[in-house]
Structure 1
């Protein structure tokens, strides 16, 4: 009986060592193949209600230079106005969402829910999602940067 238990203990120990060695050899390959190909970055979420002011994102305007503030003409080449980025406005049952689409990606301009709906914004590198929600139902409006497009999902 002792001999059988000893053989069983040796077999279990050898099996545990073999599985451990195999796992440490294979885990790097599996991680490289299946996990590292997707960049998962944390995203932030914001929520506003329909009764609050709409969510708008604006860029700060440059402060006037001292020579312009004093009314003196500025010498030098004149700059042509920057090209406007196309504005994509998506109207859905729960409100309206506006994005700008440009070479550097998409940016959220505004998310305006209608009365009774709430806007939730989630963003990460490469995409922005705005959910206009009322209770359990709502609409998700997506802007995908690398594809330069918007998409909607009803739920």
Structure 2
């Protein structure tokens, strides 16, 4: 009986050591290759602090609206499926992070879903960077008159919409 107990104990120790060694090896390799989402470089602002534009209370569902492109047809990057609810637009009136650039002014808009940075010129705008927050995904649509960055997580959506088709660039943030 004692001999059988010694064999079982030896087998348990050897198995435990092998499992521990295997786990440690796999953990070490995976820790070095784990995916971390890329982070956008911060836009340097001369003493300006990043502030979040406040969004209004959610509105009831309505039909979605997308500004028309100058040609009247959707761009090749337009989404195939139309969302079931429209964003509740909120003009970004809070002070976003600002930095000067040669083409215009660079502004960063922080939202619950991520951060979008635009270079706003006198009559057009360009997307500098867009970085989704942890757990969020991102999609970008561009035309000659507007840029839309949408952050998505499960059923939550946050859109940062920059338009300049009928005047200087302006940015609206909507959640739906």
TM-score by length of 1: 0.48
The structure with the largest helix share of the pair is 1
Larger radius of gyration: 1
